[in-house]
Amino acid sequence: MKTAIIYDSVYGNTGKIAEEIARVIGEEAKLIHISQAHKEDIENAELVVLGTPTHGGRASEAVQAFMKELPSDIWSSKKVAVFSTGMPANSVNFFLRFVIKIIGYASTPTLSVIVKQGGVAAGAPADFMVKDKQGPLLEGEIEKAGKWAESLK
């Protein structure tokens, strides 16, 4: 299945998850950093996998800006899966713990925006954890990403 994996990553962790997803999906996967992503990447794909770091409970600004610029019907009947990275609630300060408990991670709200615009969820949203703001990914997260990617095929 022709798959566009569009991702943002400030410190490289979301990028590592995106790379693992691309590896598992195989030669039909196209890995695209958000700064290089175009609406045609979505139009030409049968499955779009969107990955973002969680910033204030939401997708990164770059991902939000990209989504805002898209034509409103672009997601119509398009298979989509969304993942995010974030920090475990028990590893952060009081304020961020509050944000995580109340809002959660970016994958679920981002997928629901896309589904409201006609996208079809290809799988449950997934969240992969980093140890600190800059990473690294917690042990086992790459393997978890591989399994999630398998489930999308």
CB 49 within 8 A of CB 83: yes
Nearer to ligand FMN, 103 or 120 (CB): 103
Q: Which residues bind ligand FMN (CB under 6 A)?
A: 9-15, 53-57, 85-87, 96, 99-100, 105, 130, 133, 135
Nearest distance in Å: CB 76, ligand FMN: 29
Nearest distance in Å: CB 131, ligand FMN: 10
Nearest distance in Å: CB 103, ligand FMN: 7
CB 61 within 8 A of CB 29: no
15, amino acid identity: G
CB 136 within 8 A of CB 130: yes
Nearer to ligand FMN, 3 or 54 (CB): 54
Q: Distance between CA atoms of 69 and 41, rounded to whole angstroms?
A: 14
Nearer to ligand FMN, 108 or 117 (CB): 108
Nearest distance in Å: CB 57, ligand FMN: 5
Q: Show the DSSP H helices in the chain as ranges.
A: 13-25, 39-43, 61-69, 94-102, 107-116, 141-152
